[in-house]
């Protein structure tokens, strides 16, 4: 048997499997790795799942002030190994609780090898030595005009460094309030959040009071934990569209106050089905747009058994749908 193999890497890099995931390693018949993608390989710019967490300032500001100084403040707990790079150059290790200054427009990527915890809810005995980035802030350096910015890439690189691509679950308390109060954050549309199991309070308050956030990240997980999305978008008064909510089971507090104060939202798709665990949604749509549409997903035969709109609204009363909103059902 000829064991010599010639692999044309140019034909492998960027190739995707049947699930559209980029192939990162190839095994032989003995389950041994015979080829592995270099962890520093650069993926296409729009392959956000495989990109490091990225901060992109709005270029409009720098057209007016091309040499403006600005900074990113990274506040940490413990001693995580935190790195940043400018315009996909080489990585530089950041000091603890650091303020990194830049001149002119640049795209910044950040990675961190850390174990996170939410400050207000320490994880038992781990609280003494767990590492975490508490918050990432983007601020102007000189002029009074705020620099607006977007975030993109895979947020797991803020926990797992170069190994983030294979991590599908979100740790308990992982990203709570990381962008809270950042009025100059305008888009997280291309920020990739984990699609596997979402931990307890994992995204609690993640974008709380980001008043100029107009585009939210996708929420693809169907496996939620208690309070995981609690106040996630509360008071995001510029948010135009709510992300699809595909989970059919809602644990306690998972959606509490999730869109409270999102006055521009007028359309939500929520596939949750009634269950016996209780009514675990409190004020999640309070102060949304007066005229909107709630889309649910129920087998057509069960939907028809409910009879009329009034009966269906009573069935879904636990969703606290605003009275003026239209209720419609979709089926596969």
Q: Are 186 and 207 in contact (CB under 8 A)?
A: no
Phi, psi angles (nearest 5°) of residue 294: -105, 120
Concatenated DSSP letters of 299-330: -HHHHHHT-SHHHHHHHTGGG---TTSEEEEE
Q: Are 107 and 153 in contact (CB under 8 A)?
A: no
Q: Are 206 and 179 in contact (CB under 8 A)?
A: yes
What's residue 133's pLDDT? 65
67 and 29 both lie in a single domain: no
pTM of the model: 0.81
90 and 174 both lie in a single domain: yes
Phi, psi angles (nearest 5°) of residue 32: -95, 140
56 and 1 both lie in a single domain: no
24 and 64 both lie in a single domain: no
Rg of the chain over Cα atoms, rounded to whole angstroms, equals 22
Size (the chain), residues: 332
Neighbouring CB atoms inside 10 A of 193's CB total 22
Secondary structure element (H or E) that encloses residue 10, with its range: helix 9-12
Is 304 among the domain residues? no
Is 307 among the domain residues? no
27 and 51 both lie in a single domain: no
- What 3-state class would DSSP assign to 291? coil
What's residue 97's pLDDT? 75
28 and 177 both lie in a single domain: no
Secondary structure element (H or E) that encloses residue 268, with its range: strand 267-269
Q: Cα–chain-centroid distance for residue 198?
A: 11
64 and 163 both lie in a single domain: yes
Per-residue pLDDT of the chain (332 residues; tens, 9 = 90+): 334 444 454 454 445 555 555 556 677 777 766 665 555 556 777 789 999 999 999 998 888 888 888 888 887 765 568 899 999 999 998 887 778 888 889 999 999 876 544 444 333 223 333 455 667 888 775 555 678 999 999 999 988 889 899 899 998 888 888 898 899 999 999 999 999 999 999 999 999 999 999 999 999 999 999 999 999 999 999 999 999 999 998 998 899 999 999 999 999 999 998 654 555 688 899 888 888 999 999 989 889 999 899 999 988 888 888 889 999 999 86
Is 23 among the domain residues? yes
């Amino acid at each position: 048997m000829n064991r010599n193999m010639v692999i044309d890497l140019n034909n492998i890099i960027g190739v995707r499997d049947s699930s559209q995931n980029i192939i990162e390693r190839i095994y032989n018949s003995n389950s041994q790795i015979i080829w592995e993608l270099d962890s520093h390989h650069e993926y296409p710019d729009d392959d956000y799942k495989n990109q490091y967490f990225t901060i992109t300032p709005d270029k409009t500001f720098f057209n007016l002030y091309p040499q403006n100084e600005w900074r990113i403040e990274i506040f940490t707990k413990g001693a995580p190994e935190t790195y940043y790079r400018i315009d996909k150059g080489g990585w530089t290790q950041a000091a603890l609780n650091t303020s990194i200054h830049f001149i002119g427009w640049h795209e910044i990527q950040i990675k961190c090898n850390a174990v996170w915890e939410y400050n207000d809810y320490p994880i038992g005995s781990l609280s003494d030595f767990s590492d975490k980035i508490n918050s990432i802030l983007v601020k102007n350096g000189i002029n009074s005009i705020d620099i607006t910015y977007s975030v993109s890439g895979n947020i797991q690189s803020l926990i797992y460094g170069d190994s983030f691509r294979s991590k599908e679950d979100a740790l308990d308390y992982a990203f709570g309030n990381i962008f809270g109060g950042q009025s100059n954050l305008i888009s997280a549309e291309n920020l990739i959040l984990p699609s596997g199991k979402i931990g307890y309070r994992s995204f609690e308050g993640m974008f709380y009071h980001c008043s100029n956030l107009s585009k939210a990240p996708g929420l693809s997980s169907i496996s939620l934990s208690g309070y995981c999305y609690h106040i996630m978008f509360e008071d995001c008064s510029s948010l135009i569209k709510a992300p699809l909510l595909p989970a059919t089971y809602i644990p306690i507090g998972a959606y509490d106050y999730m869109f409270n104060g999102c006055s521009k939202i007028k359309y939500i798709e929520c596939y949750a089905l009634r269950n016996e665990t209780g009514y675990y949604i409190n004020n999640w749509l309070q102060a949304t747009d007066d005229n909107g549409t709630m889309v649910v997903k129920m087998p057509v035969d069960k939907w028809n058994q409910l009879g009329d709109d009034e009966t269906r609204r009573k069935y879904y009363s636990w969703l606290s749908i605003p009275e003026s909103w239209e209720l419609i059902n979709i089926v596969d």
